[in-house]
Structures are given as C-alpha cells and as structure tokens.
C-alpha cells in the first residue's frame, strides 16, 4: 500500500508552492489533465487549500423518502475526517444542491481538516468566510440536498472539474485554481516543484535587473 502523504509534506506545499508551479511540474511528469476546469472557484481568494482528499460521490434524486436518512454517508465521512484531510464531494456538476455549508465546515474544522472541494454548490458563505475555512465549489446557492441529491458512496475514485481524484491524493488550490497530485508521486512532484520555485526566483531577479526575457529563458529555461 502507498504510504500516506505526510503532514510535513502538506505544510511544505501549502507554505511554499502555488497551483501554477504544481501544474507545470505535473506537466513535466506527463500528467497534463490535473488542473480542474475554471468553474471550480474558492470562496476566499486569499486562502490556500492543501491536504489529502477524502472523496464522496453524490447522485441526483427527485423525492424524499422518510425511511431513508439521505445525510447518513456524508455525516459518516465528515465525522471520520482526520487532520489535513480535504472533503471532496463529487456531484457530477449538479447545481441543484449545496452539499457543503457552515455546519459541515465547523465539524470538519474541529477535526483538523484543511478544507472542502465540491463541484456542487456551497451555502452559508459569510459564515464560512468568517471562520477562514478553505472551500472550492462550482457555485453559491441555498439549496439543501434533501429532495435533490444524496451521497451514495465514499472513498472511491471520483471526478471533480474534469480531474480524477482518489482518497489519499494531494489536492491543492489557491486563487489560480485547483490541481490534483496522485498520492503515488506526491513527494516527487513537491520536491521538483520546489526546485522550479527556486529557478523562478532566480529568473525573476534577473528580469528585475533588466535582462531580456529571451536571454534569461535561454539561461534558466523557466518561464
């Protein structure tokens, strides 16, 4: 079994990296489809989301069965979140439901989770922003999942913003967007991205001195 991504690696990525450099690094590994489409946006542009994915898959419904607790699986997933986890709620771009809100944010935050990503809607936005909890979503709306959707399974591969996500993968988001780094190569990707940041810093310093972009690019190969 692949070792879990360490909290030290997550802290390093969160404090030193950004989506653009991670996307470029993933390209260098031959992984060209790891950035979500631009409709998945952060509630707060100033926050960075970084952690291990915990996935949940939703299905659309059009009724309410009193004998069925439609919240059961999502409650179980949130209650099972560990420090540095990120809840990833895949709704197949269903904008009829807001599976994430203030109370789930509060519960997740209390367990040390690092955020939530959903391609559905999110609600209670003012309260979530006030607590500084990173959330990415497909939009904002007040619609409860009851009568509209329910989580059918957890910790299975899902697709968010066009990107395949498995529980345990490293998920990283900032104002530029969201990228998913497969768990198996996360340490290598972060290490190579750190090298690229150092090269970009040197390139920036050279450009500030007035050197031409072509000359600097030929020297360092970074753009």
pLDDT, residue 28, reads 96
Residue 207: which pLDDT band, with cuts at 50, 70 and 90? confident
Listed residue (163, 131, 156, 214) closest to 19, CA to CA:
163
pLDDT tens digits for range 181-196: 999 999 999 999 999 9
Domains along the chain? 7-183 (3.50.30.40)
Average pLDDT over residues 150-163: 97
pLDDT, residue 21, reads 97
Listed residue (49, 29, 20) closest to 186, CA to CA:
29
CA distance 217 to 66: 64
pTM of the model: 0.91
Residue 1: which pLDDT band, with cuts at 50, 70 and 90? very low
pLDDT tens digits for range 116-154: 999 999 999 999 999 999 999 999 999 999 899 999 999
pLDDT at 7 over 90: yes
pLDDT at 160 over 60: yes
pLDDT tens digits for range 63-85: 888 888 999 999 999 999 999 99
To the nearest 10 degrees (0 to 180), the angle between helices 186-208 and 213-220 is: 140
């Amino acid at each position: 079994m692949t070792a879990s991504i360490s909290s030290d690696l997550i802290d390093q990525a969160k404090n030193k990296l950004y989506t653009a450099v991670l996307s470029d690094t993933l390209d260098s590994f031959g992984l060209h489809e790891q950035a979500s489409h631009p409709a998945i946006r952060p509630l707060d542009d100033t926050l960075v989301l970084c952690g291990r994915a915990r996935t949940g898959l939703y299905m659309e419904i059009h009724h309410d069965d009193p004998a069925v607790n439609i919240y059961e699986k999502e409650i179980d997933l949130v209650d099972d979140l560990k420090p540095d986890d990120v809840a990833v709620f895949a709704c197949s771009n269903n904008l009829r439901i807001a599976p994430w809100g203030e109370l789930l944010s509060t519960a997740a935050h209390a367990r040390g989770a690092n955020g939530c990503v959903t391609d559905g809607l999110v609600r209670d936005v003012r309260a979530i922003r006030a607590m500084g909890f990173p959330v990415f979503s497909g939009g904002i709306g007040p619609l409860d999942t009851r009568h509209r959707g329910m989580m059918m399974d957890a910790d299975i591969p899902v697709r968010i913003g066009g990107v395949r996500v498995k529980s345990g993968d490293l998920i990283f988001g900032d104002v530029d967007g969201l990228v998913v780094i497969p768990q198996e190569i996360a340490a290598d990707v972060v290490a190579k991205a750190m090298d690229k940041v150092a090269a970009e810093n040197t390139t920036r310093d050279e450009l500030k001195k007035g050197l031409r972009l072509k000359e600097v690019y030929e020297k360092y190969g970074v753009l």
